[in-house]
Structure 1
Amino acid sequence: MKRRVVVFLFIVFLGSSALVSAQTEPEDTAMATDEYQDSFYESLKQKGIENYDKAIVSLEKCIKLKPNDAVAYFELGKNYLKLKDYQAAQNSFEKATQLDPKNKWYWLGIYDVSYETKNYSLAIETIQKIIPFDEEYKDDLISLYMITNQFDKALLTINEMNDKFGKSEDRERYKLQILSQGKHQNVEIDNLINQIKQNPKKESNYVNLIILYSQSEETDKALEVAKQLAKEVPSSDWAQVSLFKGYIDKNEGDSAIKSMNFILSNPKIDSKIKHRTLNEFLIYVNKNPQYASDLEKAIGYFDNDPNVDVAKEIGKFYHNKGQYENAIKYYEKNLSARSDTDRETNLLLLEVYTLAKQFEPMTKRAMTMIEVYPSQPQFYYYAGLGNNQLKQFKNAKTVLEMGLDYVVDDKKMEANFNIQLGEAYNGLGDAKKKEEYFLKANELLKQKK
């Protein structure tokens, strides 16, 4: 009986049966003598009604009559296996293989024992002896390699079987499990490079190689493969990745936008490639601001991306470039599309509001965030700063005094609070308090040094 071994998440071991060999089951072999035949058929009858002990007694009579009869030993092994007497079953099957090593069924008997006892080293050794009779048993070998964590061997055998018999659902699932671990990707990368050399017009090999390079953060290599794909298979969706890069390099903005939108909207293309594409377009737009509206449209493709806050990252880009109006626009876009209370984005937005001298929206947002994060001193500071700039000195004093209680082990922040409190008291006409807070701020800044 052929037993297909299937692994689910490397721990579940299942079997299915198929008879694919042209060899004849041993019980179909003609019997030599009447006495032998009587005992042999009696054993089959007893096995059929699950009287395995009686079947064994009859088979032992057969062996006395024909001590070198492999068929009787094989049947004996099957009955011992039914009784879960695994050692006796294995001994019987091994005797059958010694007497007739070219019969696949006898080796499968040993394989059944190894399967039942989870003796995977014996199972691998045995299945390798069965494969010369039937190469499709390499699928069982793959499953055994998966169980025993021999993933390199499994991957090599998967590729062999795919080349010879075509892909199967089980093999593709195993391959995904192996490649998800990362360290085995080099074997598959080498395989795909060879496949591309042998068949340069087969798109799937390029795509799989691009994905592997992308997953391992080798985006430059992924783009090189995309370039090669564009040359060999120009109609491929993935070829657009290479075409986009070419349009950007040649400053063909309209063509680059068309190619970019195709890439970003295509569910087949890996998300890391999409992020790289958008980032390159962002750099391009920084030099060619007439395409800013196309950048905004492109960001919409990432609204539901769980991995990267694209609008926030673009906001940071403009923030670092000193383009505060653009930074504000994208930080606000991020907060609107995702979480309006995201702490990091709000602090970035408050900082850039300050740099852009937009104190009214800064003060309003800071006061709102105090309600959300009542123990975060940064929001009190920005609220105080904003109120001072708007000449709302009483409000500034109140909020700064509240927030100062939450400043712990941060001399610079404590100094900044005192500076703003000094400004608030100055606005309220209290010169003594103003000097008091300024002097305290100065002392704190000295301590920091």
Structure 2
Amino acid sequence: MKIKKYLFASLFFGMLLFPAMVSAQAEPDDIALAEDKFQDNFYESLKQKGIENYDKAVVALEKCLAAQPENPVVNYELGKNYLSLKDYKKAYDYFQKASVLDPKNKWYYVGMYDVCYQTRDYNQAIVVVNKLIEFSPAYKEDLTALFMYTDQFDKALASINELDEAVGKTPQREAFKASIMKDSKYQLAEKDQLLAAIKKNPKDESKYIALILLYSDSNQEEKAFEIAKKLEKEIPDSEFAQVGLFKFHLNNNDGDKAILAMNKVFESKKIDSKIKYKTLNEFLIFAKNNPQFNADLDKAVSYFDNEQQVAMTKEIGKIFYAKKNWERAIHYLEIYSKNNPQEVEPNIFLLQAYAESAKFDALAKKSSELIDFFPLQPEFYYYSGLANNQLKNHKKAKEFLEMGLDYLLENRDLEINFNIQLGEAYNGLGDVKNKEKYFKKADQLLNQKNK
């Protein structure tokens, strides 16, 4: 550690100078004794700190400080121990004194920064971090975050743009920027800045794509298309231009041209996954209302890796489910269920989609499999009973429904449905008494619900 190297160097250097400064005033034996006491106390403090006896370490260091009040290392060590004791004011004061005594040692400012961060004094942390940047530009990342924490969004945005230019983008800075850009004031400034950057360097693809996304997010589709066309003109083989063209064609309801642009976006190795996800989501909304493009939607999903594909199928299936497009909902939910059999919710959506589309064989098979996975989940017993009633397997339906009732807790709607299906099962078995019993129970529950 640099601190340790500095520590021993300081001590050694101090010990060399100390006799020269006091030789005219003290006997050599007295000097050696003072040096020995200082070393003993200092190493005692290190020992006590190592076993987390910070109070005892402080006592030893205070003896060192009495002997050498201007020693920056002693002040720094006192700061560290007081920080461990959560005495933040004393910790900061000692770190600060160490930095005054030796302004060229980065670690004294790091100690001050640690105190500011732990006490959430972010405004003071900014002062300290600006000093640390003189030692290492990497602290500009910390400065950006501190600007965000203190709501200094103008400075944060300037810092983000500077770092993006210098070292490239990071997910953290992207998240910060997205938060800032929700404010239309910053969107306008960012657009102006990007337009100026494009004018200065018309071959920089990244500026075009950032501007296209800004215009798209603020529903300025015509301007987004204009920038995409400019990009295509300046860089004819640009893959980024396809993002803007895709949006334009989609908004013009030109599905064929939108698909051509979308596929180029997905095939690109330069366009990041965030943009690809956004493109897929927009096409999904379009495909919901234009079922002739379902095959193209399947192809779009196939561009992503297997894990991403599977995760998407759940959300896509639920969207088609909400639109009551049962066939497409089943298509995607089956994929998800196969890869995630342990999840309850998407499987319930799948079973209901089977029921809505009268696929009772599939419903009976899948619900039976799910009961093996989830023996305490009443919904799966219900769907098994429903399917078997529809398939005229009334005895099996009755058995599943009666078992499922044992696991039913405070779910009025499901309880009503259980009683209806039990009535159907007994009706199929020719048991009029029980048929009437369960239908009557369903009616009572329904009336209670409607009160």
After TM superposition, the score normalised by the length of structure 2 is: 0.64
Q: Which structure would you say has the larger Rg? A: 1
Partner of residue 240, structure 2: 238
Q: In structure 2, the residue corresponding to 1:246 is in which secondary structure?
A: helix
Partner of residue 265, structure 1: 267
Preserved contact between residue 71 and residue 101 of structure 2 (Cα < 8 Å): no
Q: Once the 2 structures are TM-superposed, how far is the Cα of residue 372 of structure 1 from its aligned partner? A: 0.7
Partner of residue 443, structure 1: 444
Q: Once the 2 structures are TM-superposed, how far is the Cα of residue 147 of structure 1 from its aligned partner? A: 9.2
Q: Which has the higher contact order (CA 8 A, sep 6+)?
A: 1
Preserved contact between residue 422 and residue 436 of structure 1 (Cα < 8 Å): yes
Task: Say if 1:128 and 1:317 are closer, same or farther in 2 by CA, change over 3 A.
Answer: closer
Give the number of the structure whose residues are more often helix, by fraction. 2
Partner of residue 33, structure 1: none
Q: Once the 2 structures are TM-superposed, how far is the Cα of residue 374 of structure 1 from its aligned partner? A: 0.7
Partner of residue 322, structure 2: 320
Q: Deviations over 1:308-346 (max 9, x none)?
A: 83223333333333332222222223323x313432221
Preserved contact between residue 310 and residue 336 of structure 2 (Cα < 8 Å): no
Count of aligned pairs between the two proteins: 355
| Partner Cα separation in structure 2 for residue 443 and residue 192 of structure 1 | 63
Match of 1:309 among 308, 311, 318: 311
Partner of residue 372, structure 2: 371
| Partner Cα separation in structure 1 for residue 129 and residue 368 of structure 2 | 72
Preserved contact between residue 328 and residue 349 of structure 1 (Cα < 8 Å): yes
Task: Say if 1:190 and 1:57 are closer, same or farther in 2 by CA, change over 3 A.
Answer: farther
Task: Say if 1:224 and 1:57 are closer, same or farther in 2 by CA, change over 3 A.
Answer: farther
* 298-307 vs 113-122, which moves further: 113-122
Q: Once the 2 structures are TM-superposed, how far is the Cα of residue 244 of structure 1 from its aligned partner? A: 0.9
Q: Deviations over 1:64-104 (max 9, x none)?
A: xxxxxxxxxxxxxxx998772559xxxxxxxxxxxxxxxxx
| Partner Cα separation in structure 1 for residue 326 and residue 435 of structure 2 | 32
Q: Deviations over 1:205-250 (max 9, x none)?
A: 3445677x69xxx844697785454133223322211111222234
Task: Say if 1:269 and 1:220 are closer, same or farther in 2 by CA, change over 3 A.
Answer: farther
| Partner Cα separation in structure 2 for residue 392 and residue 224 of structure 1 | 60
Is 2:103 the counterpart of 1:111? yes
Preserved contact between residue 265 and residue 271 of structure 2 (Cα < 8 Å): yes
Q: Deviations over 1:341-387 (max 9, x none)?
A: 43222111111111111111111111111111111111101101111
Amino acid at match of 2:73: K
Q: Once the 2 structures are TM-superposed, how far is the Cα of residue 108 of structure 1 from its aligned partner? A: 9.6
Partner of residue 354, structure 2: 353
Q: In structure 1, the residue corresponding to 2:73 is in which secondary structure?
A: coil
| Partner Cα separation in structure 1 for residue 323 and residue 126 of structure 2 | 61
Partner of residue 17, structure 2: 55
| Partner Cα separation in structure 2 for residue 147 and residue 289 of structure 1 | 45
Amino acid at match of 1:407: L
| Partner Cα separation in structure 2 for residue 391 and residue 130 of structure 1 | 78
| Partner Cα separation in structure 2 for residue 409 and residue 222 of structure 1 | 49
Q: In structure 1, the residue corresponding to 2:442 is in which secondary structure?
A: helix
| Partner Cα separation in structure 2 for residue 147 and residue 250 of structure 1 | 41
Partner of residue 142, structure 1: 140
Match of 2:295 among 279, 293, 300: 293
Preserved contact between residue 362 and residue 382 of structure 1 (Cα < 8 Å): yes
Task: Say if 1:119 and 1:148 are closer, same or farther in 2 by CA, change over 3 A.
Answer: farther
Q: In structure 2, the residue corresponding to 1:309 is in which secondary structure?
A: helix
Q: Once the 2 structures are TM-superposed, how far is the Cα of residue 278 of structure 1 from its aligned partner? A: 2.5
Task: Say if 1:49 and 1:399 are closer, same or farther in 2 by CA, change over 3 A.
Answer: closer
Preserved contact between residue 189 and residue 209 of structure 1 (Cα < 8 Å): no
Q: Deviations over 1:157-193 (max 9, x none)?
A: 7469669xx6147xx66xx545545686349867743
| Partner Cα separation in structure 2 for residue 208 and residue 361 of structure 1 | 47
Alignment of 1:134-173 (within 5 A): 139=137, 142=140, 145=143, 152=152, 155=156, 158=159, 167-168=166-167
Task: Say if 1:349 and 1:114 are closer, same or farther in 2 by CA, change over 3 A.
Answer: closer
| Partner Cα separation in structure 1 for residue 348 and residue 418 of structure 2 | 16
Partner of residue 120, structure 2: none
Partner of residue 336, structure 2: 334
After TM superposition, the score normalised by the length of structure 1 is: 0.64
Q: In structure 1, the residue corresponding to 2:166 is in which secondary structure?
A: coil
Q: In structure 2, the residue corresponding to 1:84 is in which secondary structure?
A: helix
| Partner Cα separation in structure 2 for residue 224 and residue 180 of structure 1 | 26
Partner of residue 81, structure 2: none
Alignment of 1:167-206 (within 5 A): 167-168=166-167, 177-181=172-176, 185-186=180-181, 192-200=190-198, 201=202, 202-206=204-208
Task: Say if 1:227 and 1:86 are closer, same or farther in 2 by CA, change over 3 A.
Answer: farther
What is the percentage of aligned positions where both structures have the same residue?
36
Preserved contact between residue 142 and residue 154 of structure 1 (Cα < 8 Å): no
Preserved contact between residue 384 and residue 395 of structure 1 (Cα < 8 Å): yes
| Partner Cα separation in structure 1 for residue 228 and residue 319 of structure 2 | 31
User: Where do 5+ consecutive residues of structure 1 fail to align?
Assistant: 1-12, 16-46, 62-78, 88-106
Amino acid at match of 1:262: K
Preserved contact between residue 144 and residue 156 of structure 2 (Cα < 8 Å): no
| Partner Cα separation in structure 1 for residue 397 and residue 13 of structure 2 | 94
Q: Once the 2 structures are TM-superposed, how far is the Cα of residue 401 of structure 1 from its aligned partner? A: 0.6
| Partner Cα separation in structure 1 for residue 294 and residue 410 of structure 2 | 43
Amino acid at match of 1:255: K
Alignment of 1:66-85 (within 5 A): 84=73
Q: In structure 2, the residue corresponding to 1:391 is in which secondary structure?
A: coil
Q: In structure 2, the residue corresponding to 1:374 is in which secondary structure?
A: coil
| Partner Cα separation in structure 1 for residue 132 and residue 426 of structure 2 | 91
Task: Say if 1:220 and 1:263 are closer, same or farther in 2 by CA, change over 3 A.
Answer: farther
* 255-264 vs 312-321, which moves further: 312-321
Task: Say if 1:243 and 1:428 are closer, same or farther in 2 by CA, change over 3 A.
Answer: same
| Partner Cα separation in structure 2 for residue 58 and residue 157 of structure 1 | 53
| Partner Cα separation in structure 2 for residue 288 and residue 119 of structure 1 | 61
User: Where do 5+ consecutive residues of structure 2 fail to align?
Assistant: 4-8, 24-67, 77-98, 117-123
Task: Say if 1:442 and 1:329 are closer, same or farther in 2 by CA, change over 3 A.
Answer: same
| Partner Cα separation in structure 1 for residue 145 and residue 70 of structure 2 | 23
